[in-house]
Amino acid sequence: MKIALNKQTDHSLPEQIFQSISDRILSGLMIEGEKLPSVRKLAEQLEVSLVTVQKSYELLEKKQLIERRQGKGSYVRRSEQKTVETNPYNWQNMIEDFLPRAQTWMEMKSFSREYKYNLSLANLSHDLLPVYELTDMITKVIRDEPMILTKYSPGPGDQILREVVSEYLVDEGLVVPADKIVITSGAQQGLELIAKTFLGEGDVVFVEAPTYIGIIDILKSRGVTIKTVPTNEEGMNLNILLQMCEQFSPKFIYTNPTFQNPTGTILSEKKRRRLVDIAQAFNVIIMEDDPWGELRFEGSIKSMKSMDENGHVIYLKSFSKTISPGFRVGCIIADGKILNKLKASKSVSDLGSPLLNQRIIARFIQSFNFGQHFKKMNALLLLRRNLLIETLNDLQIEGLKWTVPSGGPVMWITFPTQVNTEHLLIDALKQELSFLPSAMCYPNEPEVNHLRISYGNLSLNTYKESLKLFKEVVKNHMESLNPFTEDTPLF
């Protein structure tokens, strides 16, 4: 009996063998009275243990699909005795996919949308984004340029938008001609394009630990080996990274150096220069993912792309955090052959991003006062960050630590090691409160005692209510872990 087993899925081997045989019986491929191979023979054939096959036969017997006759073997039962509930798609459980984390992420995103006190989405609320100004621009563009509805965008992006983005980036300290900009449907598509263009089995990629959850499946789906670089409040440890370069010859280093998601930390200018030097020395490509750079409470910092002389850095920018996430407009900036490959890759992937969205964003950037907008937006974000710090101080938990981000919408909170934040999340969800537990942010061995709070996602009042709830949920959870306090009578 030929059964294709997949050791990578969530389904155990006995379950898979059970599923395969039960499908044959229920589809009529194996008929009443037919003898099944002996446990020993099937185990040898499938190269699994006897116990594995034994367990699958027990399951088949429990579901009344087979009967086991003492000393004679196992036989398919009479049809009226088969009571198993059938799901026509069960056979699909055995199909291997290459996105181990995506399902959980999608579910997390949708559950967090359903919950009122959503501190898990790294998104910005309507009072932080220029919603009304954008609405006016949408109407204007459709009225003024209806004919763009009849056209595809050029693959690498609308020329008007590429020129506007080139000018916009000058204010961010980056001088790049429009020709080096590829418009993408958000930074997420940029990451995917880079991975599918340049990465495959056998390649090694370094990421920060913890890292942006959205890069993990992109890399895993390419079959690459992901190595994690230890990271603290000052970003990646470059001494260790250097040793790792010697040892593993990475092709790419993925980093989110400004207000890193999930830790909120920033890689200093000095370290950025050193990282670019390391990339040059080892012929590595850096993916510099920068969706949050404009959301700074103080100062400014140079991008690695602005320090890159030989085309080692691919820079990604997004307008999801500064204008609108739903428009799905972002871009990649690269040089040389890498740039040309990415332009071709984008063209073949989706024949160009939606032209209407690109033109609206272009006209919007041309007319909008970003200076004023960022001042207001960042002041509001800072206020929220400080409210979170007050809440954490109020908790008075020994060993509770947090980063203090100087921009961006997320803060990383570390609990004493006995706390598993996935367990804390179960308590939180009962109160309609959500956050991102740390286990999701590690591609390899996870740390489980941290969590990420996004303080930009809710309107101010709901956010304040969430913080109150968060305090309560954490207090109760900590008490449940340490039921014996000084006040607990001993007898």
Ligand X SMILES: Cc1ncc(COP(=O)(O)O)c(C=O)c1O
Q: Which residues bind ligand X (CB under 6 A)?
A: 122, 186-188, 212, 214, 256, 261, 289, 291, 318, 320, 325, 330
Considering beta carbons, is residue 76 or 304 the nearer one to ligand X?
Answer: 304
- Of the pair 285, 474, the CB lying nearest ligand X is at 285
Closest contact distance (angstroms) between CB of 155 and ligand X is 19
Q: Two tokens at 222?
A: 């390419």
- Closest to ligand X by CB, 42 vs 441, is 441
CA-atom Rg of the chain in angstroms = 27
Q: Which three-class secondary structure state does DSSP give residue 315? A: strand
Closest C-alpha among 268, 320, 295 to residue 384: 295
**Residue 356 Cβ, how far from ligand X at the closest point, in Å?**
18
To ligand X, the closest distance from the beta carbon of 103 in angstroms equals: 18
Q: Pick between residue 20 and residue 358 the one whose CB is nearest to ligand X.
A: 358
Q: Shortest gap between Cβ of 215 and ligand X (angstroms)?
A: 7
Measured from the CB atom, is 153 or 261 closer to ligand X?
A: 261
SS3 of 289, please? strand
Are 194 and 314 contacting, i.e. CB atoms less than 8 angstroms apart? Answer: yes
Closest separation between CB of residue 190 and ligand X, Å? 8
**DSSP for residue 208:** E
Q: Measured from the CB of residue 157, what is the shortest distance to ligand X in angstroms?
A: 14
- Distance between CA atoms of 238 and 282, rounded to whole angstroms? 14
User: Is the Cβ of residue 261 or residue 378 nearer to ligand X in the bound state?
Assistant: 261
Task: Using alpha carbons only, give the angle 124, 313, 370 rounded to the nearest 5 degrees.
Answer: 35
Query: Phi and psi at residue 155, in whole multiples of 5°?
Result: -50, -55
Q: Would you say 407 and 484 are in contact if contact means Cβ atoms under 8 Å apart?
A: no
Shortest-Cβ-distance residue relative to ligand X: 186
Nearer to ligand X, 317 or 359 (CB): 317
Q: Which is nearer to ligand X, 155 or 456 (CB)?
A: 456
State the burial class of residue 290 (Cβ atoms within 10 Å of its Cβ: 0-12, 13-18, 19+).
Answer: buried
CB of 187 to ligand X, least distance (A): 4
* Pick from 82, 74, 77: nearest CA to 31: 77
> Which 3 state secondary structure label does DSSP give 413?
strand
**Separation between Cα atoms, residue 359 and residue 199, nearest integer Å:** 32
Shortest distance, CB of residue 188 to ligand X, whole angstroms? 3
Give CA–CA dist 156/158, Å, rounded: 7
Alpha carbons 353 and 327: distance in angstroms, whole number: 10
